[in-house]
Chains A and B, each alone.
Chain A
Amino acid sequence: AQTVTQSQPEMSVQEAETVTLSCTYDTSENNYYLFWYKQPPSRQMILVIRQEAYKQQNATENRFSVNFQKAAKSFSLKISDSQLGDTAMYFCAFRPSYNTDKLIFGTGTRLQVFP
């Protein structure tokens, strides 16, 4: 069975600083997608960044980047130049195959950005 583990229940960072959120996963599949989702206090889940397993290059989206280590089954999120609006729950998620939208989520990391 596929599992996703986020070992940091809470993290905090000062505005403008950099923070890294950790995620590990377990799967026997070779092709899959990995995601980071953000859920602000308003509760609407938003996609932050995605990574295709077959791509060696790490995905980046503006201030957000990932460190994808396929052999180690590790998928961390780095947020640079943190902003107050980055305060939210962050969920790492795994999608097992191409023919489904089913997401397996980690337990989440609550990120607090301080001024």
Chain B
Amino acid sequence: KAGVTQTPRYLIKTRGQQVTLSCSPISGHRSVSWYQQTPGQGLQFLFEYFSETQRNKGNFPGRFSGRQFSNSRSEMNVSTLELGDSALYLCASSLGEQSYNEQFFGPGTRLTVL
């Protein structure tokens, strides 16, 4: 079974631009979560989607948004990029059911904002 995939793996943008990152979960998984990883702030939760609905949201400005499609693939978008948005963006998927489901992480997208 294929793991969680994220595209692109590396991205370079300039301040003010916008960016869209994609996450394809493991087949059959309905929950996708996004995290931002930086040296200064560590791993921070961005948002979580389950069956196309946002189930939880972290403490990030409105420039960060996401969505989930009917095939469970998810995208996150960052508008008006700032230097501080440079980070590794990780997504994780799980079955998403109420009982415990293991989350599997993707390799991440490394975003550099110049």
What's the A-B contact tally at a CB cutoff of 8 Å?
A: 55
Number of interface residues of B (CB under 8 A): 26
A106 contacts across to B, CB distance below 8 A? 42
Asked if A103 and B33 sit within 8 Å, CB to CB, the answer is yes
The size of the chain A interface, using a CB distance under 8 A, is 21
Q: Is the interface of B mostly helix, strand, loop or mixed?
A: strand
Which residues of chain B come closer than 8 Å to A45, judged between CB atoms?
90, 92, 105
* Residues A43 and B43 in contact in the complex (CB < 8 Å), given A101-B94, A101-B103: no
For B105, the closest partner residue in chain A by CB is A45
Residue A86 interfacial (CB < 8 Å): no
Interface residues in chain A, defined as those with a beta carbon under 8 Å from any beta carbon in chain B:
33, 42-47, 50, 52, 91, 98-108
Using CB atoms and an 8 Å cutoff, list the residues of chain B in contact with chain A. 31, 33, 35, 42-45, 48, 55-56, 58, 88, 90, 92, 94, 96, 98-103, 105-108
25 example contacts (A-B, Cβ-Cβ < 8 A) are as follows A33-B100, A43-B88, A43-B107, A44-B107, A45-B90, A45-B92, A46-B105, A47-B103, A50-B102, A98-B98, A99-B98, A100-B55, A101-B48, A101-B92, A101-B96, A101-B101, A102-B33, A103-B33, A103-B35, A103-B43, A103-B103, A105-B42, A105-B44, A107-B42, A108-B43
